[in-house]
Amino acid sequence: MTTQRKAVALISGGLDSMLAARTILAQGVHVEGINFYTGFCVEGHTQAIRRTDSARPKRNNALWVAEQLGIKLHIIDVVEEYKEVVINPKHGYGANLNPCLDCKGFMVRHAHRWMQENGFDFIITGEVLGQRPMSQRRDTLPVVVRESGAGDRLLRPLCAKLLPPTLPEREGWVKREQLFEYNGRSRKPQIALAKRYDINEYSQPAGGCCFLTDPNYTKKLEDLWRTRGDKRYELDDIMLLKVGRHLRPRPHFKLIVGREEGENNFLEGYRHAFTHLRPLSHKGPLVLLDGTADRDDLRLAARLAGRFSQGRDAASVNISITENSGHTYELDILPLSNDEIPKEWYL
């Protein structure tokens, strides 16, 4: 009796990794999924904190994919280890602060370690040759193989026939002729394969699955590093960059303004760590102040908070200010007009 081989599949929640895992499952291999939480992941309901996105499915796509495939999924928190990838990528950044090649090497390296610790035989990814400009080129796919330590236990089922045979193929654990030769940026072959597998619903995030590829997010992260004077972050920092309007009226402080109820509820969880403002006389958002502020700065922050309240056109708005120390007081202010807010303040 032959031993059933075991593969660990990197599952992002997108279509390609789903197809790669499905392809290997179809060959009778035992597959379990692994998903890495870096803190920069774009999740359906990270977005859905905002009501405007409430039409999106409120779900974690990696879990959903695992359930569709009928496989277990192991979600691993790598927030701390991942900092080095973001702060000091050996292979540099892409168009934004996306360290794609270092990231792929990091994830395959961690999957390889997990494979060894759990008695699995090989690793699967949904990579397609030529699909991504940084991490999925003919010259960079071998970099991931080498630097991850996975060597020829890394199988890319969707483009395997364009690459040298890996250990699972050579040993007959999987049949190479039943793998694929997808190449380039076209999604048509994957969509056709999904149809063949009767997969009718899948996530296709327009901007990828990582906030670091988003220019607006990158701008806020660069601002964080510039104003702190060095490249470092904590999880709360990068979570807050995903939420609210961010305005920096002065170099030594910025404001985070909830855009609607969902964001205000989320920011409520952070208010004890920040000086915060909220309108009392009119409906309006919770505003967190990140940095240091003197009396004039707080008055400016209050006028900005007034601007984003329903009293924006009123002659006076009453604002509650709670400083970091817990000291709370009220100010009556004239909200800033739109013309008084330079575009450069918006991050």
The residue ranges that bind other proteins (CB under 8 A) are 35, 37, 41, 43-46, 48-49, 57-60, 62-64, 66-67, 71-77, 239, 265-266, 269-270
Q: Where are the alpha helices (DSSP H) in 88-198?
A: 100-117, 141-148, 167-170, 188-196
CA-based radius of gyration for the chain: 24
Q: Answer for the pair 127, 141: CB distance below 8 angstroms, yes or no.
A: yes
State how far the Cα of 223 lies from the Cα of 23, in Å rounded to an integer.
43
Pick the closer one to other proteins by CB: 65 or 128: 65
Pick the closer one to other proteins by CB: 128 or 243: 243
Task: Give whole-number Cα distances, 293 to 38, 209, 299, in Å.
Answer: 32, 36, 9
Q: Closest distance between other proteins and the C-beta of residue 202, in Å?
A: 16
Q: Closest distance between other proteins and the C-beta of residue 63, in Å?
A: 5
Q: Closest distance between other proteins and the C-beta of residue 238, in Å?
A: 11
Strands (E), the chain: 6-10, 30-37, 73-77, 122-124, 154-155, 245-250, 253-257, 275-279, 287-291, 317-322, 328-333
State how far the Cα of 208 lies from the Cα of 53, in Å rounded to an integer.
17
Q: Closest distance between other proteins and the C-beta of residue 221, in Å?
A: 17
Burial class (CB in 10 A: 0-12, 13-18, 19+), 185: exposed
Q: Closest distance between other proteins and the C-beta of residue 67, in Å?
A: 5
Q: Closest distance between other proteins and the C-beta of residue 46, in Å?
A: 5
Pick the closer one to other proteins by CB: 73 or 134: 73
Q: Answer for the pair 91, 101: CB distance below 8 angstroms, yes or no.
A: yes
16-50 as b/e: b if 16+ CB within 10 A = bbbbbbbbbbebebebbbbbbbbbbbbbbebbbbb
Q: Closest distance between other proteins and the C-beta of residue 73, in Å?
A: 6
Pick the closer one to other proteins by CB: 53 or 152: 53
Pick the closer one to other proteins by CB: 75 or 341: 75
Pick the closer one to other proteins by CB: 73 or 101: 73
Pick the closer one to other proteins by CB: 60 or 98: 60
